[in-house]
Amino acid sequence: MSIRFDKEQRVFCLTTNNSEYQIGINEIGILKHLYYGAPVGQSNMNYLDSSSDRALSGNPYDNRVKRDMSHDTLPQEYTTNNVGDYRIGSIQLQSENGSFSCDLRYSRHSIKKGKYTLQKLPYVRGKNGNLAKDEDVDTLEIVLEDPVIKLEVKLCYGVFESKDVITRTAIIKNAGEMSICLNKASSMAIDFPYADFDLIHFQGKHCNERQFEREAINHDIITVSSKRGMSSHHNNPFVILADRTATENTGEVFGFMMMYSGNHKFEIEKDSLDSIRLVAGINDTNFNWNLGAGEEFTAPEMILAFSDAGLNGLSNIYHDIIRENVIDAKYYDVKRPVLINNWEATYFDFDDDKIKKLIDKSSQLKIDMFVLDDGWFGERNNDDAGLGDWFVNENKLKGGIKEIADFANSKGMRFGLWFEPEMINENSDLFREHPDWALKDPGRNPMISRNQLVLDMSRTDVQDYLFESISKILDSANIQYVKWDFNRSVANVYSSVTGYEDQGKISHKFILGTYSLLSRLLDRFPDLMIEGCAGGGGRFDAGMLFYCPQIWTSDNTDPIARLSIQEGTSYGYPACAMGAHVSASPNHQTGRITSFKTRGIVAQSGTFGYELDVTKIDNDDEIRAQIEAFHKYDKLMHHGNYYRLKNECNKDFFTAWSFVAKDRSEALVNLVVKNKEANQKIPFVKLIGLDADKEYRLEETGEKFSGQALMNGGFAFSNYFIRNGYFENIYPSMQAHFIGED
C-alpha cells in the first residue's frame, strides 16, 4: 500500500513511484508537514524540524513550559487561526459566541484502498473506465478537531502511486450545536521549512491567456487569484514552486492545481525564517459560509505533483492524470473531431443558405463536424439581445436546427451547436418574464458587460429552466456536440431568493449550479461531447475538464500569439484538451499575416479544426493535407509525452515543441520561427525523451540518427527543410517526424 502509518513515531508516509510525502503528529496533536519531494526510503523526516525559542512567537498553553514549540514556527499541514500563527492561514471563522479562534489538533485517521470521491464537485477519478485501477490508488483521511467550538476538519489525500500524484481536499464539519461562520475555507496548506523557490504562474488577459511568468519568492506574500466568478483569463488556478536552478529538463519542481472553475486564491509566503508556505482554495473575497449543527463544507480538490526532472517532467505527470483520470475515460481513445466553426466566417450574419454552403464545402474537404455558433436563437442578430431565449430564430433558419443538422448528416458530417447557458440579455423574453433570475443588487443598476447579465445559477429553478430548454433543443435534432460559452466576468453577486446571512455562499453555489447542470445534461445525453469556453480560455481548468474533454484555448486564433498561449497552457494541461483552429489571414484579432502551413502546425498541436469561410479560399489541397496529417499523428500528439524544446538562446527566435510516443518509438518535432530575418540563422534544437540506444530515421529525408545524437548533439533544421521552401514564408514553420528502428 502507498500509505503507511508509523504508530510509534506517529508519522504518515505517502509514497508514489518517484515522490514521498510525510506528515507527523507532535506531542500535543498538532499536525506537522514533514517532507515532500524525492523518495527518502520512508526515513522519518521529523529530524528536519529543528524548533527553537523565537522571540514574539508564543507557545500553546498546553505546552507552555516548552518555549521551543510555537504555531508561528512549526511546519503545518492545515493551519490554525487566531491562536498564535501569524502567517497566512488555511481557515478563518467566527463562532456563535463571537470568537475568531480555531485550534485544530489530531483526532483520528483512516487508511483505505481506492480513491475518495466528492459530492457536487469534480475530482480526480480513482477509476476511470479501464484506464486507472483502484489498486493503484489509496486514500488517507485525517480528522482534526477543535474541541472548544466542536469543529472537525477532515483532510483527504488520494495517492496515485504509479502516476506520481497526490490529491488533497478538506471537508469542514460543525460537529457541535453552536453555529459557525466560515470566512475562509482553504483546500490545502503546505510548508517548506528549507526552500529557495521561484514561483511560476500563468497570468494573462482575454486573447492572451496563460502567459508563463517566473519570479523569485522573497520575504513577502504573493497572491495569485481570481474573483471574476470564473477561473479567469487573468490567473489560472495552477502554480508551480521551482528550485531556483530548475529548468525545463532538470531540477526539483512542485505543482499545485485546483479543480475548480470559480473564484480561487493561492497565497505564497516566505517568512522571517525563510520557510515558504503555500495555501490554496476558494477566494475568500465576499465569501462566508454559515455552518449549522451537523453541516459540512467541502473545499475543491487540489492535484499535487513533484518532479526532479524539471518542468517538462512535471507537465507530463499532469498530462497523464488529466487524460486518464480527470477527463471521462470514454474520450481517451476517441479522436477529436476535426470541426469547422462558423463564427469567424459569418459572425451573426447568416441564414440557411449561407450555412448550407459552408457545410457543403466543408464536407468536400473531409472535415468531420460543423458547429453552428452564436446567433441561431431568439432575436439574436447581435450581442444586445436574445441570451436566455433558447428557441430557434426561424427568421434566420427557416427550417430550424433539425434541417441544418440533417443537411450536415446527409453530407457525412456531424453537427454541433453553441450555447451560453449562464447568461441573459435584458432584451430577452426570459428577462422580461423573470428579471429576478439575474444576479443584481437590490436598488442598484448592475454592471453590464457585452450587453449581458449573469443568471443566478445558485437557484434550482434557473437550473431547471436551462436543463429543460437546452434538452428540448438537443432532442429536436441529431446534435452531438455543444460549445458551452461564458462571455463575461461576474459582478453584482446577489441572489434575490437568498437571505442576508447566506449571500456569501452565492459565488460558490453559482459554480456548483453550473457543475450540476453539466452533470444532468451529460446523464441525459451520454453521447454528447461538450467543449468548454469562456470568452475563449477564461475557464480553462481541471474542474471544467471533468465534464468537458476539451476547452477552447483562446479567442485569439493568430498562430504566432497562440505559440505562447498554448505553450503556457501546456505546463499543466495536455494537447488533447486544447481547442485550436486554423483561421483566416490576416488574422481577425491581430491583423497578422501568416502562412497556411504555420497556422496548421500550431492548430494541430490541439484538438484541430477550422474557423474561416472555406467557400472563399483556394487552399483545398492544403486543408486536405492538414487533415490527413492530423489523423496520421493524432495518437502521437494526444497520447505521447509533450516536451517544450526551449532555452534562453532561442526563445525570441523560434518556438519548438515535440511529441514522443510513450514507448519512444517515434517523435514529432514542430518549430515556428517568430523573428524572421535576412540571412537567417538555422534553427537548432536538442530533442528530449528519446531512447538513447535506438536509431531514428527522419521520415522526410531518410537520414538516420542515434537517440543519443539527437538528444546530446541536437538537430538542425537545414538542408532538406531549406530546399523545400520552409524559409520562403513569413513566420516559417517546420515539422520533422523521427521513426525509431530496431
Distance, C-alpha 106 to centroid of its chain: 33
213 C-beta neighbours (distance < 10 Å), count? 14
* DSSP annotation string for 163-224: TTEEEEEEEEEE-SSS-EEEEEEEEEEEEESS--EEEEEEEEETTEEEEEEEEE--SSEEEE
Cα–Cα distance between 282 and 131 in angstroms, integer? 30
Return the CA Rg of the chain: 27
Catalytic residue status for 485: yes
In sequence order, what E strands does 511-644 have? 529-532, 550-552, 578-579, 582-583, 609-611, 641-644
- Identity at 213, one-letter amino acid code: E
Q: Which residues contact 628 (CB under 8 A, 6 or more apart)?
A: none
Q: In terms of Cα–Cα distance, which of 68, 84, 86, 77 is closest to 105?
A: 77
Asked if 209 contacts 232 with a C-beta cutoff of 8 angstroms, the reply is no
Cα–Cα distance between 722 and 683 in angstroms, integer? 11
485, 541, 558, 691: the catalytic one is 485
Cα–Cα distance between 152 and 698 in angstroms, integer? 60
Beta bridge partners of 554: none
Q: Which residues contact 237 (CB under 8 A, 6 or more apart)?
A: 226, 231, 257, 258, 260, 264, 266, 541, 542
DSSP state of 323: I
517 C-beta neighbours (distance < 10 Å), count? 21
Cα–Cα distance between 489 and 37 in angstroms, integer? 37
- Identity at 52, one-letter amino acid code: S
Length of the chain: 742
In sequence order, what E strands does 352-473 have? 369-372, 414-419, 423-424, 453-454
138, 146, 373, 555: the catalytic one is 555
- Residue 95 CA neighbour count, 13 Å, CB half: 20
47 C-beta neighbours (distance < 10 Å), count? 8
The residues carrying an active-site annotation are 485, 555
